[in-house]
Amino acid sequence: MRYFILTFLLLFYAAAKAQDLSSLYEKVKPAVVVIYTEERKLQRLGNTMSMVNSQGLGSGFMISDTQIITAAHVVDVAEKLFVQFLDGEIIEANVISTFKQADVALINLIKPKKNAVLVSLGDSDKSKVGEQVVVIGAPFGLSHSLSSGYISSKISNIKDTNPFTNTDFIQTDAAINTGNSGGPMFNLKGEVIGIVSQIKTITGGFQGIGFAATSNIAKNLLIDKKIPWTGADFLPLTGKSAQLLNLPQNSGLLVQRVVSTSLYGKMGLRGGNVEATIDGTDLLLGGDIILAFNGIRFEMNNTVLKQLGDFATNLKSGDTVEIKILRDGKILSLKNRKNH
């Protein structure tokens, strides 16, 4: 008899939990979007390397009728963005702000979404290991797909106020696959506590270890700091790599790709066009190397990175932006004015 009662209670509890997840899903799914991107990538065509258009896919969620949060790696060097909603409508968007290390980004629709359903950012610091979470996104293009799991761990690297190196992630066993990136991780209250970022895998597929950037770091970087998107992908050069490329200083930023319509693209910054490997790192050579921003010489230390963070945070429309670069062995300056 006791066994029967216990079995009944377990089944009842499981059914109730399933109902809770179904209700949560129906409530928040209209706020989840699919993001289609178009990037320029270097690709071998016969015996030559050429820049070609490459299609990308990710997820995101609405926090206003025009603003969407997603993952930085989904949109950081996208030439074009298109957002598809649950009702099938597609609206073009532009990037506002991205942070590569934290892997969070904010994009803006070119026109408001009518009757938009919004979700709110919860306090990720209050989430606990063992807490159940729900992930909604577009794995392999299967839009508004739900997976659930638990918080496995919390991994934070917030040492100071440097916005370029701080990270804060939630580890989960909820299934995450290609296309989930940028999608929301919900607690059972329907609050977003994470932005899906990446997985740790040996096979290339999901193996039970996934990561989401916390809602709190997204709130701090994207909403509070509002550092503008520059539209370029960089690779830091230090030590041996800096010596090999004949830098006139200890560190620099090797430009990999530049979005033509971005701030740096309009300034004439050039990306790489030759594939290479240095110290086990795959990269593109042939692009500009940034030496300084508005007189602040680039160095890989927290003091300089903090200065650069303050400079970027305080940048306003109409402010002069000047970068010193190394191009073809010559030091040049590029200057422009930031426009929204």
- Active-site residue, selected from the candidate residues 59, 76, 103, 143: 103
Which residues have C-beta within 8 Å of that of residue 162, sequence separation ≥ 6? 302, 305, 306, 309
In whole angstroms, give the CA distance from residue 299 to residue 313. Answer: 18
Q: How far apart are CA 59 and CA 178, in angstroms?
A: 10
Given the residues 73, 97, 143, 168, the one annotated as active site = 73
Q: Which tokens hold the place of 315?
A: 């940048």
Query: For this structure, is 144 an active site residue?
Result: no
Residues with Cβ < 8 Å from 141, sequence gap 6 or more? 34, 57, 179
181 tagged catalytic: yes
Answer yes or no: are the C-beta atoms of 241 and 253 closer than 8 Å. no
Sole residue written with tokens 């989930």: 180
**Residues 6+ away with beta carbon under 8 Å from 132:** 148, 149, 150, 187, 188
User: If you search the block for the tokens 């940034």, which residue do you land on?
Assistant: 290
β-strand pairing of 210-214 with 192-199: antiparallel
Which residue among the candidates 59, 127, 147, 181 is catalytic per the annotation?
181
**Beta strands 132-137; 252-258: pairing state:** unpaired
**CA distance linking residue 221 with residue 99, whole number of Å:** 8
DSSP letter string, 89-103? -EEEEEEEEEETTTT
Residue 179 to residue 277: CA distance in whole angstroms: 28
**Active centre residues (catalytic):** 73, 103, 181
